[in-house]
Structure 1
Amino acid sequence: MTETPTDVTAVEGGTVRNYLSEMGPSWVAGSIAAGPATMASLIAAGARFDYALLWVVVLSAVAGALAQYLAMRLGLLSQQGIVNIVEEYLGRWWSWVLVIDVVIAAGVAQLVIMNTVASVSSTITGIDARIWGVTWALILAIGLAGRGYRFIEFVVKLLITAVVLTFVASLYVVPLDLGNAARGLVPSLPSGSAVVAAGILGGAVHITLITMHSYTMRVRGWTDREYGLATFDIVASMLIAFGIYSVAIFLVTASVITDPNLTTVSAAQALGPLIGSSAKWLFLFGLGGAAVSTLGGNTIVPPFLVADKLGWGTTVEDSRYRVLLAAVALLSALGAFIGGEVIGQLVLVLALGTVGTPFAIAVVLYLLNSEAVSESNSVLANSGGMALLFVSGSLAANFVREQISGGINLLSGFVLVFAIVIGIATILLIGKYMHEEAAVT
């Protein structure tokens, strides 16, 4: 069978220069991936296991790009938001599961990311973190409710570009062991590294990134005619920019830091006495930029899905969506009042996101092989999607086991219940697809 016009490469149908000027939606997803939770995992991996997990860092960029590609296909070929597609082709119950899954994962993340942003801002300026929390919440509310999605897209493209350049610059003031780094590209899992590796991969393949993509492309007015542009967008943001970001942070950490208990902010501060204040400030400003861009990108995720579920518009032209967007931005200020050590909170955020991700991948694969899209997935795309489903499911199991290994408390109990509910939903969805396929054959 001949391929439809949507099966184009990333450089067909337009010049690279045009694509560079028009790209954007996947950069918002990349801003969330390049967040403090991912950074915490990268710091832990480098500090504890030297260069041994470099291959996982590289793999995370590839896996993240693949997940975004599948989400992109669903959005472009269906021309709908993911919640509306799920409701139409799976039913209301499934759409509610998806919305609740995303709202819980993104909502908890919003509070912890704000805590990180406020802490970094306080470290840089000396101003109380709670004041910074309120300030950033107001900036978000005014910017997003006033200008909407295009505001956050413009900001994150600037910030992510600056952050990548900052961390690349930091490599020039850090003594790298290129021989050991090259050996780290050979797959191996040192004892005790499984959970850290899961954290690195989980930051790139995440439910918020997968579910938001159909909405950001719709805001831009992209259709299957922009298939090449959308593919280029993913390669430039997730594979290249996010890949460089992750590798640079990991190499800096693996080369210098040996204390496995350091967190994101304290790791930056530790670089000062080790190799000079320039490395410290480069790392600290890079962390701050990444945290701010992640905060902005994450803010728009719950309003997208909730508005779609309620039948509202998903742009600021709909006043109800505008109010919802401002409310999420303002409520995020509460994160700055949480206090406590950020690293444990980031682990919880990554755990919640990771246990919710397999369901989102299963939903996307189901819909890409249904009448919801004009062209079903290829064997290669399905194989990649199934590999992602297997990996994300394994990550989820590892995180749940890690959370409950020290005994059940309020937080680990919540993660366990959430994981059980979402796990059952994922299994039921896979069973539903297999039953339908068996009935056809």
Structure 2
Amino acid sequence: MMSTESEHGADERGWLKQSSNVSMEEVNSSVRVPHKAGFWRKLLAFAGPGSLVAVGYVDPGNWATSIAGGARFGYTLLSVILLSNLVAILLQSLSSKLGIVTGRDLAQATRDATGKKTAFCLWILTELAIIATDLAEVIGSAIALHLLFGIPLLLGITITTLDVLLLLYLQKKSFRLIESIVIVLMFTIFVIFVFEVIVSKPEITALFGGYVPQKEIVTNPQMLFISLGILGATVMPHNLYLHSSIVQTRQYQRTRDGKKEAIKFSLIDSTFSLTVAFLINSAILILGAAAFYGTNLHVSEIEAAYELLSPTLGVGIASTLFAVALLASGQNATITGTMSGQIVMEGFIHLRISPWLRRLITRLLAVVPAFIVTWLAGSKGTGELLLWSQVVLSLALPFAVIPLVLFTSDKKKMGEFANRLPVKIVAWLCTVVIVILNIFLIGYIIVTGQDLG
């Protein structure tokens, strides 16, 4: 049931030698890749991990921040979604490259580079980020069940704990099956929001103008707070650990040419999937802006958006489709959140426990605070909790990004696959911006004693 692993010195590339360093051993190298096939067949074989990663970029936490941003500031924060997505594509490509080249996920690599004590602290921090992620999924799914079927929030939160059983069943069947279900749900969400945006009739000129960054985003504290929430909901720390692991589910040849090919197809897979996620996130903010901006309706919660959407747009089915997409989003995201929990526990502290126990613990750590807040503060409390969970993710992000950029830029560890100078410059620039923005957020809250919302 439980096991620990010991390190035995370091190899020629500076990695500590482990008795076992296979990430997610039960599915590692489980998906066949036809080595003599053409481009499209190989791309199809490698496609999938990008979709699992993209799920984290369209979870219910994104909905709360994007709707709030659109309702309060119109299309202005579309530029934040665009920049965040470009950063996400860069960081996820580095994450997959780390896993493919080294055979280690980011948690394992960090443990090797820092030692037990630091790794344990980083594990705690990462677990908090995963709990914040799972919190958003729990609340989002519970709200969707309430909106669609009238199920009380407290009961809905309880029902979401059963998601772990579904995930265990799917993973036993096939990793490919999990990827296929995720892709179908992502497609469902995409189609729904395309319809919602069309019927909302957005102002096209203002919409495209929103993708141009404005100085006000930084100078307006309230706008910056929502922007940090979008950043935390878009570039998610647990996704960096996840991608570096699940990319190793492919049976690519562990040779120089095999790794080079795997990196190429992984980049195509993740870029395409994250572009779809970008379009969905943009659509959510556009919908919030088109439906609620300038109406004197303060819409910062998912339930309020649901109740006002159909009357505002004049389309009866709009609210129902919104709730269906929310439920699909919550169910989708629970898959990757629990996988990430397994990866960081095994990678950081070399502790392996039964999958059902690991996922049950992760889910309960999110369910308990959600249950308490809902019981004490009702739907208003869950809305605020959802928004703040994304800020927690944003604060945890630097502790995943900095090691990732360090490792993938290290020629000793990565060999010829180390980041080239232009990639290094852009990656470190993104890292510095993320750290500065988060320092500002923490400082503002400490000095003023209040949030920016």
**TM-score bin, normalised by smaller chain:** 0.7 to 0.9
Structure 2: which amino acid aligns with 1:325?
Answer: R
Determine if the alignment matches structure 1 residue 372 to structure 2 residue 413.
Answer: yes
Give deviations 1:156-200, integer Å, cap 9, x for gaps.
Answer: 222112111111111221111111112222221433422222222
Per the alignment, in what secondary structure is the counterpart of residue 80 of structure 1?
A: coil
Deviates more, 1:80-89 or 1:323-332: 323-332
1:182 aligned counterpart, secondary structure? helix
* Cα shift at 1:45: 1.5
| TM-score in terms of structure 1 length | 0.81
* Aligned residue in 2 for 1:325: 359
| Correspondence for 2:276 | 241
Match of residue 78 from structure 2: 54
1:389 aligned to 2:440? no
Q: Residue 386 of structure 2 corresponds to which residue in structure 1?
A: 346
The alignment status of 1:185 with 2:185, answered yes or no, reads no
Q: Deviations over 1:22-68 (max 9, x none)?
A: 41122222111211222222112111111222222222221111111
**Unpaired stretches in structure 1, ≥5 consecutive residues:** 1-12, 314-318, 413-441
SS at match of 2:200: coil
Aligned partners of 1:145 and 1:326 also within 8 Å? no
Asked if structure 2 preserves the Cα contact closer than 8 Å seen for 1:141 and 1:329, the reply is no
| Partner Cα distance (1:58, 1:401) in 2 | 26
Which residue matches 1:216?
246
Aligned twin of 1:37: 61
Displacement, 1:359? 1.7
Q: Which digits, 9 at most, give the CA deviation of each residue in 1:371-416, with x for residues without a partner?
A: 22233211122122112202211331233235435527xxx8xxxx
**Cα 1:398/1:152, change in 2 over 3 Å:** farther
In the alignment, is the contact (CA less than 8 A) between 2:196 and 2:318 conserved in 1? Answer: yes
| AA in 2 matched with 1:60 | S
Residues 65 and 235 in structure 1, CA contact (< 8 A), matched pair in contact too: yes
- Matched letter for residue 285 of structure 2: F
- Aligned mates of 2:55, 2:233 — CA distance in 1: 11
Task: Kindly provide the CA deviation profile for residues 80-118 of structure 1, in whole angstroms up to 9, marking residues without a partner as x.
Answer: 122222222332233223312211111233234312211
Query: How many Å separate the matches in 1 of 2:203 and 2:224?
Result: 24
Asked if the contact 1:198/1:398 (under 8 Å) is kept, the reply is no
- CA distance in 2 between counterparts of 1:189 and 1:293 reads 35
Query: Does residue 319 of structure 2 align to residue 295 of structure 1?
Result: no
Instruction: Map residues 59-74 of structure 1 onto 2, 5 A cutoff.
Output: 59-74=83-98
- Conserved? CA contact 1:32–1:209, under 8 Å: yes
| Structure 2 counterpart of 1:280 | 319
Number of residues of Structure 1 aligned to a counterpart in Structure 2: 392
Gap runs ≥5 in structure 2: 1-36
**Distance of aligned partners of 1:139 and 1:50 in 2 relative to their CA distance in 1, 3 Å threshold:** closer
Counterpart of 2:347 in structure 1 is: 308
Q: CA RMSD in A?
A: 2.5
For residue 309 of structure 1, report the CA deviation from its aligned partner.
Answer: 3.4
1:41-440 mapped onto 2 (5 Å cutoff): 41-144=65-168, 147=171, 150=175, 152-190=178-216, 191=220, 192-222=222-252, 224=259, 225-238=261-274, 240-258=275-293, 259-275=297-313, 276-311=315-350, 320-329=354-363, 332-334=366-368, 337-338=371-372, 339=374, 340=378, 341-370=381-410, 371-374=412-415, 375-404=417-446, 406-407=448-449
Normalized against structure 2, the TM-score is what?
0.79
> Is the alpha carbon distance of 1:152 and 1:332 closer, same or farther for their aligned partners in structure 2, counting shifts above 3 Å?
farther
> Percent of aligned positions with the same letter in both sequences?
20
Counterpart of 1:35 in structure 2: which amino acid? D
Which secondary structure state, in structure 2, belongs to the residue aligned with residue 377 of structure 1?
coil
Q: 1:419 aligns to what?
A: none
Distance 1:63 1:369, change over 3 A: closer
For residues 193 and 395 of structure 1, the distance between their equivalents in structure 2, rounded to whole angstroms, comes to: 12
